[in-house]
Amino acid sequence: MFALGCVVLAIALCVLALCIWNALAWPAPGLPGAPQDEGAVSVLIPARNEASSIQDCVESALAQGDIAVEILVYDDHSTDGTGELVAALQTRDARVRVLQPMNLPEGWCGKNFACARLAAAARGQWLLFLDADARLRDGAIARMLHEVKSRNVTLLSCWPGFVMSGFAERLLMPMLNFLVFSIFPAPLSLFRWDASLGLAHGACLFVERAAYARVGGHEAVRNEIFEDTRIARVWRQRGERGICLDGQDVVRVRMYGSFAEIWRGFRKNFFPAFHHAYVFWIFLAFHAVVFLLPFAALLLLMIDLQVAFPWIAAAATVLASRLVIAWRFRQPLWPALLHPIAEVALLSLGVTSWWRCATGRGVDWKGRQYRATH
């Protein structure tokens, strides 16, 4: 147990080093030094039963000024009045337009098809795909346009800041940032163009229209539930340059509003995010051994402090990594101290997502079933 503890400690220290690197060296979009081209960007919002959030989302896009030539909303068969709310906004500002839905073709995921339809109807040189629960900050589009031009890239995803309310959200949502930035070298992705270093958050995806067409757009990932990072990797595979930056001062999002929504939301894309089942199980084993076992081992080994020492150090290192990521994203620090609880929830969620797919039940989201075989 002592030798295993030393190995786990060494791995945890490497994770901590990566978290510190990400926290200190991963940039945010810069501020433009001069006014940007007006009328250059189409804001595209797929919306399915988003009546509680769509108005604020559209209004945050309108507040960007004339740089947003149009705000198109695809009303994806909503039954809660989403389309009517957008139609009311349309009467107030001619830039707003609601697109009526088509039947979802076989082999497509709903959001991907909605994004493809929006892109086909857009006329801007640049396309900003925005989730309905996202809110742009002042000057957000100008900052994104400045960044893609200064860095000479054709895709920019801004990793959003998470708006959280309630115990469950504050406990579990920070795990998304920890999950990604404890294994992903974000600064390295800005100067190496390997497809494996593609990263995106679907809440905010800013792309050049011509490059989007060259890559194949959302049709290239039409059946992917985990479409955002997948399109970022396809982008690089097909010779385009795409990056992800810290966008918490550019866009904010409240992804889920309750424990049940968090569970359903991440269940739908946890296992499908992995193209190979063995990679999924390696990922779960890594989390179980490095990020959870040190805390469990403490309960068994406190009677022998010499044997327990590497496990104590490993647990402290994991907590330090959590605190670094929480500090970087300006999130409360106390959830890091409850890390074992959140880690158990993460592992349970992963197994549940796998089980539903393995048994043919599939995963569901907003009334649609995916990966179901019966």
How many domains is the chain partitioned into structurally?
2
Q: In whole angstroms, how far apart are CA 79 and each of 48, 51, 83, 84, 133?
A: 8, 9, 9, 10, 17
C-alpha radius of gyration, the chain, whole number: 21
Q: Which of 231, 246, 267 is the last residue of a domain?
A: 267
Q: Is residue 28 part of a domain?
A: no
**140 and 160 Cβ atoms separated by less than 8 Å:** no
CA–CA gap between residue 40 and residue 36 (Å, rounded)? 9
DSSP state of 292: I
**339 and 323 Cβ atoms separated by less than 8 Å:** no
Q: Is residue 300 part of a domain?
A: yes
Q: Is residue 371 part of a domain?
A: no
SS3 per-residue string spanning 221-276: HCCCCCHHHHHHHHHHHCCCCEEEEECCCCEEECCCCCHHHHHHHHHCCCHHHCCC
Residue 258: its pLDDT value, please? 87
Residue 37: its pLDDT value, please? 57
Could you read off the pLDDT of 324-357 as tens digits, one per residue? 999 999 999 999 999 999 999 999 999 999 999 8
Domain extent, residue 75, equals: 38-267
Q: Is residue 369 part of a domain?
A: no
Q: Is residue 370 part of a domain?
A: no
**83 and 54 Cβ atoms separated by less than 8 Å:** no
Q: Is residue 32 part of a domain?
A: no
Q: Is residue 197 part of a domain?
A: yes
Has residue 210 got a pLDDT over 60? yes
15 and 52: one domain? no
220 — pLDDT class (breaks 50, 70, 90)? very high
240 and 307: one domain? no
- Whether the predicted model's global pTM rises above the 0.85 cut: yes
**71 and 43 Cβ atoms separated by less than 8 Å:** yes
200 and 287: one domain? no
331 and 277: one domain? yes
281 and 163: one domain? no
**315 and 343 Cβ atoms separated by less than 8 Å:** no
184 and 239: one domain? yes
64 and 124: one domain? yes
214 and 307: one domain? no
